[in-house]
């Protein structure tokens, strides 16, 4: 997408690239005018103008209010609010309203609702109460999509289609018969012959041999465990089925409005991980993501940074949209912490510094009723004269001052981290040596250490091209194809530096363990052979003879061609290798790559020490020199560059930079001191 805007996207000739959805950064959020009397709408548009809002998501849960009975439509209120928003210069990302089926549909066709593992059908009264394999639901859904797109496809307020809402979040699995039949078909297409499936799944275990695809059921409640290969395929099937629903809606929209961009909001971090968004990213016109911080995490900005870097990896580096985040507290955590003063701005700019070209909130006006009545919004229950609205308004001003950054890209990082939802799903499918092993925790630990050092990281799918990076981190990437394992080895052979942590490359794409010692896919590259996993108890720690510490995991093994960097100091593994490094023969580039293996889950301090070593070895520095803890991000358009400096600490932190701080409109000569909790966006003199 480009960053220009046209008055009506529907006027574009077919085939041209889509305009960005707003003039500069998109700013606004989910808007629910249907919850309010129309007098309130006037106040809404006035407040939107005060805050600089230019983009709202409309109609997300409004199916029951526009199709009031089967085939009976009332578009009056939607017509009026579309016109009002347009009159006030607010662009609309209009939702296909299919996330929440109307009560009349659920009453007429209760069979569209998902069924749990134990055979219980969902009841009415929630949202996303449908499953993607329901032919009945599909028929009704596509009919309302067609109606909405025909009615509003040429509306001048329309900027983008927002398909459904967080597909796979609340309707992630269904175990009903219709889904079962679709699952059998999916398996037949994947494996061709049932004997191939038996072989790949290893169904001889417990004698689960199938003689036809019709015998295979979704993994319903058994009281005992299912085959992990079956569980993983069911996750993949579910992701494909949900994607199939998105594509079906998208194709209706595409047919009727070929010039309007189409997306759906991902939840790369907060979703149960059923959906393989990296695969979905190819099907949307711009990647949009929802992100909510977890109040219980004192370093929640670090998790946000990780999420935003993942989303940028999915968008292939192109600007993406933060479709939802919160102005303050959410309402679905056990304890919903309010955001600290300034946190809303820091969060928004951290997403933008990592490639978002907009920051939208759920939601515009805080509900007085309904199940999200205590979720924060831009306009709180207490009204506009509040901390929250004041910050919303201030952020609107900031986004105008930094508008020139929109359309630029995040400068390519020298460090890549590989992350794959399919592998994370495999790790969750079936019992593992410990419940504490989690690839996200491992990845986050390294990412936090790199971020606090001001080092940029691209988080990419293991199938991505690795040339151009100096270092690659493989954090507990349990499942890996032969092809992608070979690409990682080739990267090191060509002079790259790789860090691989325990329980990586263990299973093939079919979820079968590679034999001959751990970590199967990387034994030769790493020059190690580990033979037995020694998981640790919940609070147990291991110490290494170089002073490092680990938890969760340890392993018994040997270095074959690698050097031992650190050994375990205690217990059954005392004196055995814990961290190893193999230096590869010098490459054609004249430099020797290294492959480091870490057989325990390192503490933060030890992970930091390992990252210091990796950065020195790979010759990688921070985005800009500065104090530890200061978030530093760079966006560039090729001729100009902007340094984002975000201080999450309670003390001032500095960064070396010369240029103009667009937020305070002041020159910075050599050193910028960022006050506690503040942000700066500096157009650099020397891009
Ligand atoms: C999700 C949904 C929104 C809202 C928020 C609350 O992101 O898309 O409709 O429920 O959660 O945090």
Q: Which residues of the chain carry a pLDDT beneath 70?
A: 1-16, 270-273, 588-589
- What is the number of alpha carbons within 13 Å of residue 155 lying toward its C-beta? 27
Query: DSSP 3-state assignment of 286?
Result: coil
How many angstroms does the Cα of residue 589 sit away from the middle of ligand 1? Answer: 49
Task: Report CA torsion sign: 119, 123, 126, 128.
Answer: positive
Looking at the CA of residue 61, tell me the nearest atom of ligand 1: 9
pLDDT of residue 6: 37
Give me the torsion for CA of 573, 576, 577, 578, rounded to 10°: 20
Distance 17 CA to ligand 1 centre (A): 30
330 lines ligand 1 (CB under 6 A): yes
What distance in angstroms lies between residue 362's CA and the mean position of ligand 1's atoms? Answer: 6
- The values of phi and psi at residue 165, to 5°, are -160, 120
Q: Which two tokens stand for residue 176?
A: 């009903």
Label the pairing between strands 409-410 and 630-636.
antiparallel
- Determine contact, residues 594/488, Cβ cutoff 8 Å: no
Counting atoms of ligand 1 from 1, which one is nearest the CA of 372?
A: 10
249 lines ligand 1 (CB under 6 A): no
> Nearest C-alpha to atom 11 of ligand 1 is from which residue?
362
Which atom of ligand 1 lies at the shortest distance from residue 166's CA? 8
Q: Which residue stretches of 315-386 are H helix?
A: 343-353
Torsion of CA 487, 491, 493, 498, to 10 degrees: -110
| Cα–Cα dist 319/331, whole Å | 29
- Cα distance between residue 65 and residue 306, in whole Å: 38
Ligand 1: centre distance to CA 325 (Å): 8
Instruction: Name which residue sits closest to atom 12 of ligand 1, judged by CA.
Output: 330
pLDDT for residue 4: 38
**Nearest residue (CA) to ligand 1, atom 4:** 362
Q: Does the Cβ of 647 fall within 6 Å of ligand 1?
A: no
Residue matched to tokens 């109307």: 102
The pLDDT score that the predictor gives to residue 117 is: 96
Token readout for 236 is 């993949």
Three-class HEC string of 469-496: CCEEEECCCCECCHHHHHHHHHHHHCCC
- Give the integer Cα–Cα distance in Å for 377 and 455: 33
Tokens of 85: 């928003």
Pairwise CA distance, residues 177 & 114, whole Å:
10
Our mutation pick for probing the ligand 1 site, out of 30, 32, 163, 166, counting the most ligand atoms within 8 A of Cβ, is: 166
> By the 8 A CB rule, do 496 and 525 touch?
no
What's the gap between Cα 538 and its chain centre? 28
pLDDT given for residue 272 in this prediction:
58
Q: Classify the C-alpha dihedral 271-275-281-284 as positive or negative.
A: negative
CA distance 97 to 171: 15
Q: For residues 276 and 225, is the Cβ–Cβ distance under 8 A?
A: no
- Does residue 553 have its Cβ closer than 6 Å to ligand 1? no
Three-state DSSP state, 582: strand
Q: How far is CA 630 from CA 229, 649, 680, in A?
A: 43, 8, 11
pTM of the model: 0.96
Q: Rounded to whole angstroms, how far apart are CA atoms 340 and 363?
A: 18
CA–CA separation, 272 and 625 (whole Å): 37
Q: Catalytic residue numbers?
A: 166, 324
| Backbone CA torsion sign across 46, 50, 55, 61 | negative
Q: What is the DSSP letter of 103?
A: H
- Residue to probe by mutation, ligand 1, list 62, 267, 362, most atoms within 8 Å of CB: 362
The pLDDT, as a whole number, for residue 412 is 93
* CB of 375 shorter than 6 A to ligand 1: yes
Query: According to the model, what pLDDT value does residue 14 have?
Result: 47
Task: State in Å: Cα 165 to ligand 1 middle.
Answer: 9
With 0-12 / 13-18 / 19 or more C-beta atoms within 10 angstroms meaning exposed / middle / buried, residue 669 is exposed
CB neighbourhood size of 426 (10 A): 28
Give me the long-range contacts of 634-639 (CB less than 8 A, separation at least 24): 634/410, 634/411, 634/456, 635/353, 635/355, 635/405, 635/408, 635/409, 635/410, 635/411, 636/408, 636/409, 636/410, 636/411, 636/687, 637/407, 637/408, 637/409, 639/687
Digit-coded pLDDT (tens) for 605-655: 999 999 999 999 999 999 999 999 999 999 999 999 999 999 999 999 999
**3-state secondary structure at position 146:** helix
Atom of ligand 1 nearest to the CA of 326: 12
| Cβ of 291 below 6 Å from ligand 1 | no
pLDDT value for 273: 67
Residue with tokens 């500065």: 626
Q: Supply the residue whose CA is at minimum distance from atom 3 of ligand 1.
A: 362
CB 88 within 8 A of CB 82: no
| CA–centroid distance, residue 166 to ligand 1 (Å) | 8
Is 166 near ligand 1, meaning CB less than 6 Å away?
yes
| Distance of alpha carbon 275 from the chain centroid | 10
pLDDT at 168: 85
């Amino acid at each position: 997408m480009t960053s220009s805007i046209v008055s009506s996207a529907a006027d574009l000739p077919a085939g041209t690239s889509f305009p960005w959805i707003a003039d500069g950064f998109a700013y606004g959020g989910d808007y629910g005018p249907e919850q309010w009397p129309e007098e309130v709408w006037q106040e809404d548009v006035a407040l939107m103008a005060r805050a600089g809002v230019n983009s709202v998501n409309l109609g997300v849960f409004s199916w029951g209010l526009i199709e009031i009975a089967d085939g009976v439509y009332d578009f009056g209120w939607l017509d009026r609010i579309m016109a009002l928003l347009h009159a006030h210069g607010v662009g609309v990302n209009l939702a296909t309203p299919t996330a929440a089926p109307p009560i009349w549909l659920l009453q007429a066709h209760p069979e569209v609702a998902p069924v749990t593992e134990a055979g219980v059908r969902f009841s009415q009264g929630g949202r996303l109460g449908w499953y993607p394999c329901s032919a009945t639901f599909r028929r009704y859904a596509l009919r309302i999509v067609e109606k909405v797109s025909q009615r509003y496809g040429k509306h001048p307020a329309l900027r983008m289609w927002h398909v459904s809402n967080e597909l796979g979040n609340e309707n992630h699995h269904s175990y009903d018969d219709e889904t079962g039949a679709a699952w059998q078909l999916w398996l037949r297409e994947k494996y061709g012959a049932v004997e191939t499936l038996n072989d790949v799944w290893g169904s001889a275990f417990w004698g689960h041999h199938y003689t036809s695809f019709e015998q295979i059921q979704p993994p319903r409640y058994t009281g005992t465990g299912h085959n992990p290969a079956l569980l993983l395929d069911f996750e993949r099937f579910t992701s494909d089925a949900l994607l199939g629903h998105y594509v079906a809606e998208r194709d209706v929209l595409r047919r009727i409005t070929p010039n309007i961009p189409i997306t759906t909001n991902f939840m790369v971090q907060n979703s149960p991980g059923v959906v393989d968004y990296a695969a979905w990213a190819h099907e949307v016109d711009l990647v949009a993501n929802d992100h909510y911080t977890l109040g219980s995490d004192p370093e929640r900005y670090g998790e946000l940074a990780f999420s935003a870097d993942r989303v940028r990896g999915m968008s292939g580096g192109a600007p993406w949209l933060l479709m939802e985040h919160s102005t303050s507290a959410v309402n679905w955590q056990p304890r919903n912490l309010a955001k600290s003063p300034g946190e809303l701005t820091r969060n928004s700019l951290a997403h933008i510094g990592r490639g978002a070209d907009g920051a939208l909130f759920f939601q515009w006006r805080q509900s007085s009723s309904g199940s999200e009545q205590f979720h924060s919004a831009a306009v709180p229950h207490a009204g506009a004269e509040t901390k929250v609205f004041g910050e919303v308004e201030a952020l609107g001003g900031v986004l105008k001052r930094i508008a020139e950054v929109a359309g630029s890209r995040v400068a390519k990082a020298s460090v890549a981290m590989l992350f794959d939802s399919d592998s994370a799903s495999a790790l969750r499918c079936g019992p593992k040596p410990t419940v504490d092993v989690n690839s996200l925790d491992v990845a986050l630990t390294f990412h936090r250490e790199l971020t606090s050092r001001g080092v940029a990281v691209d988080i990419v799918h293991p199938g991505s091209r690795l040339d151009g990076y100096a270092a690659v981190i493989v954090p507990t990437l349990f499942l890996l194809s032969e092809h992608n394992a070979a690409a990682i080895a080739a990267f090191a052979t060509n002079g790259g530096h790789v860090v691989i942590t325990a329980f990586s490359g263990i299973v093939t794409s079919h979820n079968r363990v590679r034999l001959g010692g751990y970590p199967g896919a990387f034994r030769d590259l790493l020059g190690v052979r580990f033979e037995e996993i020694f998981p640790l108890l919940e609070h147990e720690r291991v110490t290494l003879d170089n002073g490092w510490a680990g938890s969760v995991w340890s392993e018994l093994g040997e270095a074959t061609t690698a050097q031992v960097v650190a050994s375990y100091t205690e217990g059954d593994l005392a004196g055995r290798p814990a961290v190893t490094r193999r230096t590869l023969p010098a490459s054609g580039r004249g430099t020797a790559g290294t492959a480091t293996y870490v057989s325990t889950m390192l503490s933060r301090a030890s992970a930091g020490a390992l990252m210091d070593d990796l950065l020195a070895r790979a010759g990688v520095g921070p985005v800009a020199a500065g104090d530890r803890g200061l978030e530093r991000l760079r966006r560039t358009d090729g001729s100009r560059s902007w340094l984002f400096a975000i201080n999450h600490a309670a003390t001032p932190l500095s960064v070396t930079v010369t240029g103009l701080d667009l937020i305070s409109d002041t020159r910075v000569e050599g050193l910028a001191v960022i006050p506690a909790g503040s942000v700066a966006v500096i157009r650099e003199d020397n891009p």
